[in-house]
Amino acid sequence: MAQFPLSDLLTGAKRLFTGLQGKKPDGTYTDVKVTSNGEVFTASAGSASLKATVLNVPAAGTRVRLPDYPCREITIIGRGKNTGKIFVGGSDVTKDNYGAELVAKDSITLSVNNTNLIYIDSSISGEGISYLAL
């Protein structure tokens, strides 16, 4: 096996990354950017601002979709006054089919690109969550 000095490998990697393209969410392609140090430049997806709000489930057993908000991650918190359970999941969330079960003040943080990928349901009508999305 051939051996190369680390500086040659880094220089070679810099040249390698110069011609690469990456696929964007809309299906188009863009050039991969490389810093002057040869590192691949990355940009965070999602919002650059914080969104915080409260969302309740009007009727237990009826899932509620979070609103459309581009983000990098979301922290979902069971409201402090809840006496029942909150079920967090996808479009098929129910009390029997969920990704996370929260009681009052429990939380879960998820890496998603939009809050509208998440649905909640509740064991008690009128209870809900607060959430922070960035």
Can you name the residues that pair with 68 across neighbouring β-strands?
A: none
Q: Would you place residue 49 in the very low, low, confident or very high pLDDT band (cuts 50, 70, 90)? A: confident
Q: How far is CA 36 from the centre of its chain?
A: 30
pLDDT at res. 14: 46
d(CA 116, CA 28): 23
pTM of the prediction? 0.67
| pLDDT tens-digit map of 60-81 | 999 999 999 999 999 999 999 9
Residue 15, SS3 per DSSP: helix
Could you report the per-residue pLDDT of 77-126, keeping only the tens digit for each? Answer: 999 999 999 999 999 999 999 999 999 999 999 999 999 999 999 999 99
| Alpha-carbon distances, residue 87 vs 9, 36, 119 (angstroms) | 50, 47, 8
